[in-house]
């Protein structure tokens, strides 16, 4: 008998090739699966809700694993934190869920935060954790442009060329731009996202923030349904997966 355990994971994406296990370097998934194997004594796959890219961080990634019945959720959490202590990976919460619950396929929503530091001086304490944007940004103009992207649209212009999703149609429930101290924060929420969708949107909104583009340029980009019509892909280090929602 096993227990299906959902864990909420926080990690610094800087040292990793991304969430997903790969042949070209260490991933967050590999760190957790190696720890789970040491805990349970056998192969123990860990399935995440989102496949964050290299350099992307998380404060609320969710994953599931099946642990032997003798390991309840608090014990799994404590053991995994002890076994991953050498890495910037932390299990924030753990809970037992129904056996058919799935971290990826049962999710009803995902939330991301993108942090931009618009100043000339580079960050010291937050190096690798924000996009250091040397030009100032007009947050009001960025927010006006962002409003045109909320709702259900064909986001072909904002997805990576290697995106494997069957359809470019997505419903963006939230896209909000605000000041947070000296940083600009972009909040995005949807049931699911296309590959690089948030980073491509942020890169485009930054063009609006510097005055190079207008909100109508963003509308035209959306309507073009062509990746080459949009702005650059914002760097990974400013992006955080902050939460995943479930119906249970």
Task: Say how far apart CA 153 and CA 44 lie, in whole Å.
Answer: 38
As a whole number of Å, the CA-based R_g of the chain is 19
**Tokens 């530091």 identify what position?**
117
The Cα 183–Cα 17 span in angstroms is 26
Q: Tokens standing for 134?
A: 């040397």
Task: Supply the residues annotated as catalytic.
Answer: 53
Using DSSP's 3-state secondary structure scheme, residue 47 falls into strand
User: Bridge partners of 179?
Assistant: 184
Count the neighbouring beta carbons within 10 Å of the beta carbon of residue 62.
24
H or E, element range at 191:
none
Q: Which residues contact 119 (CB under 8 A, 6 or more apart)?
A: 132, 134, 136, 182
Beta strands in the chain (DSSP E): 2-11, 47-48, 57-68, 89-97, 109-118, 131-133, 151-154, 169-180, 183-190, 239-245
Angle between the 197-209 and 215-224 helix axes, to the nearest 10 degrees?
150
């Amino acid at each position: 008998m096993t227990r299906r355990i959902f864990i909420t994971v926080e990690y610094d994406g800087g040292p990793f090739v991304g969430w997903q296990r790969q042949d070209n370097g260490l991933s967050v998934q590999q760190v957790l699966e190696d720890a789970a194997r040491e805990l349970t004594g056998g192969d123990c796959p860990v399935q995440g809700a989102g496949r964050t890219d290299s350099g992307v961080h998380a404060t609320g990634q969710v994953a599931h694993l099946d642990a032997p019945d003798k390991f309840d959720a608090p014990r799994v959490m404590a053991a995994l934190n002890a076994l991953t202590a050498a890495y910037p990976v932390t299990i924030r919460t753990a809970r037992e869920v129904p056996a058919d619950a799935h971290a990826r396929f049962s999710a009803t929503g995902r939330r991301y935060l993108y942090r931009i530091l618009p100043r000339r001086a580079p960050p010291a304490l937050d190096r690798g954790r924000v996009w250091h944007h040397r030009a100032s940004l007009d947050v009001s103009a960025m927010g006006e442009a962002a409003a045109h992207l909320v709702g259900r649209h064909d986001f072909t212009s904002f997805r990576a060329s290697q995106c494997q999703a069957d359809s470019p149609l997505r419903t963006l429930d939230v896209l909000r731009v605000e000041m947070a101290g000296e940083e600009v924060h972009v909040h995005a929420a949807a049931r699911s996202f296309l590959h690089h969708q948030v980073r491509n949107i942020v890169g485009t909104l930054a063009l609006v923030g510097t005055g190079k583009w207008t909100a109508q340029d963003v509308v035209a980009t959306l309507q073009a349904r062509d990746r080459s019509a949009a702005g650059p892909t914002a760097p990974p280090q400013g992006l955080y997966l902050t939460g995943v929602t479930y119906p249970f």
